[in-house]
Amino acid sequence: MSVDRSTDVSAEAKAGMKADVNAGVKADVKAGMNVTAGVKAGLNADESVMDSAAGRLQALFEGHRLTPTQRRIAHSMVRSAADVPFLSSVELAELAGVSQPSVTRFAVALGFDGYPALRKHLREVAPSEQTAAPGSYNEYQQAVEAEIENLKHLAEVLADPRPVQRAGRLLAASRPLPVLGLRAAASQAYGFAYFAAKVHPDVRLLHEGGTMLHDRIDAAVHAGATALLCFALPRHPREVVDSLAYAKEAGLTVVTVADSAFAPVAKVSDLLLPAAVGTGLAFDTACSPMLLGRVLLEAMCDDIPDAQTRLEEFDARAAARGLFVE
């Protein structure tokens, strides 16, 4: 089913990866949170995914109660999975923006005697060769290469299609379907809602915050909504976390596309699908979240019986109106 098409450890690794790692995590001050069941569903990849560097780290972290600082370290390690086995505790602390003792405590929390033991374990299970990025890349090329790596990781996660398929069923069945995205994520929500409206009879875009946001969630629930899709990108607005908690209390199943399985919205999501953002430029890049949104659309179309008919009818109306130029 298709939708409307009109539309390493290198010398510069520290500089490329020293960007603020998910500043929104600071908003989550509830220490000791476990990865939620929704996160686990989003990370339920097959063996090929677990064989990836990021996948091995995700598996290592699962089941451990981590403090906000420790989740910050974990997130940094996942984002730089190929480099981590070769970083000292000081370098990892600098990468994550925490103290060196915090890295040591983190390793102990995972069951190791200290960081050297954790690094030894990671080196033993890492591939024999490490791919280094060419040192000739300028900062713009590095940003593109980083996004390519994010997309490769997304492809690995999608090797297990079940979480996305489950999300597609939930979204297709919700009438109406509220789609939430504020601030940096507003454009992702808008793009999804634009295309979803071509195959879904009632899509309600929630891309503006304020006191009426909860009212609009209430209205969707009263109209029959059973699920809500949220796009959540850093920096994570507190209002998004509060609104998702409100939506869950109202009885909605919350499906979230977020930059990390450790994002602040994880604890208020029933099903979280991670797609990393690039942080090498002044402003984050979101190629992976956008692509994951299109994949969700595809999965949703598979569960809407008349999706193809709706698309054909739209094409016919567009041609009659001369809506697009060839």
Alpha helices, DSSP H, located in 223-304: 238-249, 287-301
Rounded Cα–Cα distance for residues 247 and 226 (Å): 10
Write out the E strands in 132-218: 177-180, 203-206
Who has greater pLDDT, 20 or 292? 292
Element (H, E) at 320: helix 307-321
DSSP 249-261: HTTPEEEEEES-T
Task: Select the more confidently predicted residue: 248 or 43.
Answer: 248
pLDDT tens digits, residue range 108-145?
899 898 898 898 888 888 764 444 445 677 889 999 99
Chain CA centroid to CA 311, Å: 28
Q: Which residues pair with 274 in a beta bridge?
A: 258
Of 79 and 193, the one with more pLDDT: 193
Share of the chain above pLDDT 70, in %: 81
pTM: 0.64
Residue pair 13/88 in contact (Cβ under 8 Å)? The answer is no
Q: What is the pLDDT of residue 127?
A: 60
CA distance 65 to 223: 39
Using the structure block, give the residue that is written with the tokens 């597609």. 168
The encoded tokens of residue 66 equal: 């981590």
Pick the closest to residue 221 from 252, 245, 181 (CA basis): 252
Q: Identify which of 69, 152, 68, 70 has the alpha carbon closest to the alpha carbon of residue 60.
A: 70
Q: How far apart are CA 48 and CA 60, in angstroms?
A: 15
Neighbour-count burial for 172-197, b at 16+ CB within 10 Å, e otherwise: bebebbbbbbbbbbbbbbebbbebbb
When mean pLDDT is compared over 76-80, 108-112, 224-228, the highest value belongs to 224-228
φ/ψ of 54, rounded to 5, equals -65, -40
What DSSP designation does 238 have?
H
Structural domains for the chain: 45-149 (1.10.10.10), 160-317 (3.40.50.10490)
CA atoms within 13 A on the CB side of 269: 31
| Secondary structure of residue 229 in the 3-state scheme | strand
Tokens of 33: 């949170």
Element housing 164 (H / E): helix 162-173
Tokens 């990370």 sit at which residue? 43
Q: Which tokens hold the place of 308? A: 């193809």
Look at residue 10 in the predicted model and tell me its pLDDT. Answer: 40
Mean pLDDT of 280-299: 95
Q: Give the whole-number percent of the chain exceeding pLDDT 90.
A: 56
Phi-psi region of 221 (alpha: psi -120 to 50; beta: other; left: phi over 0): alpha
pLDDT over 90 (residue 11): no
**pLDDT confidence bin for 231, thresholds 50/70/90:** very high
Residue with tokens 């598996």: 59
